[in-house]
Amino acid sequence: MNRTMAVHNGVLALVRQLPRIARGLTFVLAALLVAQAVGSALLPLATGRLVVALTDTPKSMRGVVIGLALLAAVLLLDMVLDPVRTMVAARLGTALDGAMAQRTVEGALRPAQIGHLDDPDVADRIERARAVGLGAHPPGQAVTALAGLVPLRLTGLVSAVLLGWAGQWWMPLVLGAAWVVTGRWQEKEIERSVSAHAGETAQLRRAAYLRDTATTAPAAKELRLFGLRSWLVERFAVAWWDGMVQMRRARVSPRRHTVAIVLLLLAHVAVVLPLALQAAHGSLAVGQLAVALQALLGLFALGFTGDLQWQLHTASTAVPAALEVGALDTAGERGRLATVGLPRREIRFEKVRFAYPGGRGPVLDDLDLAIPAGSSLAVVGDNGAGKSTLTKLLSGLYLPDGGRITVDGQDLRAYDPDGWRRQLAVVFQDFVRYPFSVRDNVGFGHIETATTDADLAAATRLGGFLGVEEELPDGWDTPLSGAFTDGTELSGGQWQRLALSRALYAVRHGARLLVLDEPTAHLDIEAEHELYARFLEITAGLTTILVSHRFATVRLADRIAVVDGGRISEFGTHDELVASGGRYARMFRVQSEPFQLHGGTRRA
Ligand SMILES: Nc1ncnc2c1ncn2[C@@H]1O[C@H](COP(=O)(O)OP(=O)(O)OP(=O)(O)O)[C@@H](O)[C@H]1O
């Protein structure tokens, strides 16, 4: 799609969306715009009428009064309509902002998988649709600009007609053409600039990321401790200016500006001179001259209308982007089979192959693995071996590129993904710390059920969080973020217990497959020990997959799988794997060795 089309698509998409989003308001706005155009048509006529009345001999008082009354009425109409139009446009703009934001959120969340979020094209579109970052032009601004532009353009058209009527028929053609041509040149500049802006989203995204890193809490500690402040400010400035330079390059050359001014000047001379001559010779009445001169001023509105045009084109680019994001994956991979009670027999990975979109080759390659329902499996392996990837595939967040995952003999793709996720209770390695209440943080495990304190207590007891809420200012309802009044921050270990409680809350409400990715990474020795003690209680009746580097945790599982080279290289119980003397046995030995003191010194 070429640049002009892309920019105009934004405006067209905007105009099409408005009646769909708020039919009544759009109608009111359109009516106001027409009323203002009528007002602008009447203004030169009223002026002409007044001038005629004033210059008539003998002077007609009645004519003067009518002319003045007409003029006052037109000006009053404009004074009343203008703020109303601004208010209606702002309301409509807010409605559009809300609708586009909702489309974006729905679209980004709709795909059953998450691979689209790794796609730079989609990321760019989402960024444009969000209309945040450093450009900050929400689509609502385009409505305000449109509401300012339409009356101007209509005024220009009406003025052209009036000039033809009061002066000569060819006059509006000459002046109109000059304004339209020079306005078009300016518009092209805007289009180039807007498209440079859109093309720069990667650069601006980087600048926005750097700004957010500097101004939000998560990185605040490291930025100071590592002395990264100047580095960050410098990087931000570079990214920001790189983006801006691209946009400035899009500006039209000064030569073209000069040509435009000369062209306009010539056109005005070509029109004003004959008007002046006609008036001097008496072939143009003074009233007509007044109308013609005012119409001449009104014709300016056909040309470049500055900020309004810029704002319209810039802000409207978010609309098609939001619609595209909103339409993501409507026909995506969604099975229909029911999932209640799964897995009953077995989960199986059959020759599963998977590479991340844009990643460097396969992470899993012909991986085979069988997990009997009701058993626990620990997955171990080096950093980056693919353990978390395995859990993401099992959760259906990515689909295998080759092979398949089956649940009770059926391909996972055949099951309803939302239903399958209700069977899952997962604690990811990078679990989310929701800045909401404790109640919400646990209740998100099964959002469909209203939380009761007893239910929360049962899940948090198993998760090791129960008791922490008693110390919080508002108990279960305390917001977990220092950024809120009466909010508080938890420690890393407390957050991990809360994440585990969330998963166990899901289990209380029917989840049958528990996936724990490094569930003890943040826990103190005692908390970890308590978790081991509860492991059987926690996993009773469930199929459990446990990813961990901690062998004290790993050995609690019924079976252990070692991931290496994209496959399962060893499989068995802890005792079997230690006895086989393979990779697992070596890893286990390395982890236990530092603690085996010999003669008061550690073994090398
Ligand atoms: N979203 C992603 N896009 C591209 N590559 C990814 C993505 N997530 C992970 N990877 C890559 O996939 C490989 C496996 O990652 P994975 O997180 O599954 O490893 P892991 O075994 O869980 O590691 P660790 O023990 O460090 O947690 C790594 O090389 C990683 O760089």
Alpha carbon of residue 507 to chain centroid: 32
- Residue 550 in contact with ligand 1 by CB distance below 6 A: no
- Ligand 1 centroid to 561 CA: how many Å? 17
Residue 380's nearest CA partner among 390, 371, 370 is: 390
Q: Which of 273, 300, 326 is the last residue of a domain?
A: 326
Query: Strand, coil or helix: what is 181?
Result: helix
Q: Which of 306, 326, 346 is the last residue of a domain?
A: 326
Q: Residue 196 pLDDT more than 70?
A: no
- Residue 115 in contact with ligand 1 by CB distance below 6 A: no
Task: Specify the residue with its C-alpha closest to ligand 1, atom 11.
Answer: 384
d(CA 491, CA 483): 15
DSSP element (H, E) containing 390: helix 387-394
Inter-residue contact 191 to 5 (CB < 8 Å): no
Residue 431's nearest CA partner among 477, 377, 391, 372 is: 391
Residue type, 512: R
- Ligand 1 centroid to 356 CA: how many Å? 9
Question: 242 in a domain, yes or no?
Answer: no
Query: Helices then strands (H, E): number in the chain?
Result: 22, 12
Q: What is the CATH number of the domain that holds 469?
A: 3.40.50.300
Task: Specify the residue with its C-alpha closest to ligand 1, atom 10.
Answer: 356
Buried b (16+ CB within 10 A) or exposed e, 170-188: ebbebbbebbeebbebbbb
For the chain, the maximum distance between any two Cα atoms, rounded to a whole number of angstroms, is: 127
Inter-residue contact 90 to 144 (CB < 8 Å): yes
Order the strands of the 376-381 sheet from edge to edge.
424-427, 513-517, 543-547, 376-381, 559-564, 567-572
Residue 158's nearest CA partner among 315, 303, 42 is: 42
Residue 362's nearest CA partner among 385, 332, 345, 342 is: 385
Mean pLDDT of 130-146: 77
CA distances from 277 to 149, 186, 266, 283, 373 (A): 34, 33, 17, 9, 99
The overall average pLDDT reported for the chain is 86
Whether residues 341 and 441 fall in one domain: no
Inter-residue contact 152 to 160 (CB < 8 Å): no
Tokens of 490: 């938890």
pLDDT of residue 56: 76
Whether residues 304 and 189 fall in one domain: yes
Rounded (5°) CA angle 209-210-213? 85
Residues of the chain with pLDDT > 70, as a percent, come to 92
- Residue 119 in contact with ligand 1 by CB distance below 6 A: no
pLDDT of residue 132: 54
Residue 461's contacts (CB-CB under 8 Å, 6 or more residues apart) are none
Whether residues 359 and 316 fall in one domain: no
pLDDT, tens digit (0-9, with 9 covering 90-100), for 489-542 = 899 999 999 999 999 999 999 999 999 999 888 888 888 888 888 888 889 999
Q: From the alpha carbon of 381, which atom of ligand 1 is closest?
A: 21
Whether residues 347 and 318 fall in one domain: no
Q: Residue 583 pLDDT more than 90?
A: yes
Q: What is the CATH number of the domain that holds 93?
A: 1.20.1560.10
Tokens of 140: 């609502």
- Residue 386 in contact with ligand 1 by CB distance below 6 A: yes
Whether residues 95 and 122 fall in one domain: yes
d(CA 493, CA 533): 17
Contacts 24+ apart (CB under 8 A), 213-221: 217/482, 217/483
At residue 332 the predicted structure's pLDDT band, cuts being 50, 70 and 90, is low
Q: Range of 82's domain?
A: 3-199+253-326
Whether residues 18 and 35 fall in one domain: yes
Question: 231 in a domain, yes or no?
Answer: no
Whether residues 110 and 138 fall in one domain: yes
Q: Residue 362 pLDDT more than 60?
A: yes
Question: 209 in a domain, yes or no?
Answer: no
pLDDT, tens digit (0-9, with 9 covering 90-100), for 529-540 = 888 888 888 899
Mean pLDDT of 550-571: 93
Question: 580 in a domain, yes or no?
Answer: yes
- Residue 254 in contact with ligand 1 by CB distance below 6 A: no
Tokens of 37: 């155009």
Whether residues 387 and 408 fall in one domain: yes
d(CA 438, CA 456): 9
Residues of the chain with pLDDT > 90, as a percent, come to 41
- Ligand 1 centroid to 562 CA: how many Å? 16
Question: 228 in a domain, yes or no?
Answer: no
Q: Residue 120 pLDDT more than 90?
A: no
Question: 16 in a domain, yes or no?
Answer: yes
Q: Which of 326, 349, 373 is the last residue of a domain?
A: 326
- Ligand 1 centroid to 384 CA: how many Å? 5
pLDDT of residue 318: 86
More confident residue, 93 or 44: 93
Ligand 1 pocket: which of 354, 363, 548 to mutate (most atoms <8 Å of CB)? 363
pLDDT of residue 594: 63
Q: Residue 245 pLDDT more than 90?
A: no
- 240-249, 267-276, 475-484: least confident range: 240-249
Q: From the alpha carbon of 429, which atom of ligand 1 is closest?
A: 27
Whether residues 49 and 193 fall in one domain: yes
- Per the listing, tokens 């980087």 go with 206
- Residue 548 in contact with ligand 1 by CB distance below 6 A: no
Question: 533 in a domain, yes or no?
Answer: no
d(CA 14, CA 92): 11
Ligand 1 pocket: which of 389, 397, 550 to mutate (most atoms <8 Å of CB)? 389
Whether residues 19 and 142 fall in one domain: yes
Whether residues 291 and 321 fall in one domain: yes
Q: What is the 3-state secondary structure (H, E, C) of 561-580?
A: EEEECCEEEEEECHHHHHHH
Alpha helix (H) ranges present in 409-568?
417-422, 438-443, 453-463, 492-508, 525-539, 551-554
Tokens of 531: 């978790």
Whether residues 13 and 143 fall in one domain: yes
At residue 279 the predicted structure's pLDDT band, cuts being 50, 70 and 90, is confident
Q: How many domains does the chain have?
A: 3
Query: Strand, coil or helix: what is 346?
Result: strand
pLDDT of residue 477: 93
Q: Residue 115 pLDDT more than 90?
A: no
- Residue 116 in contact with ligand 1 by CB distance below 6 A: no
Q: Residue 351 pLDDT more than 90?
A: yes
d(CA 50, CA 73): 13
Residue type, 562: V
Residue type, 114: I
Question: 229 in a domain, yes or no?
Answer: no
Residue type, 455: D
- Ligand 1 centroid to 388 CA: how many Å? 7
pLDDT of residue 1: 46
At residue 553 the predicted structure's pLDDT band, cuts being 50, 70 and 90, is confident
- Ligand 1 centroid to 567 CA: how many Å? 14
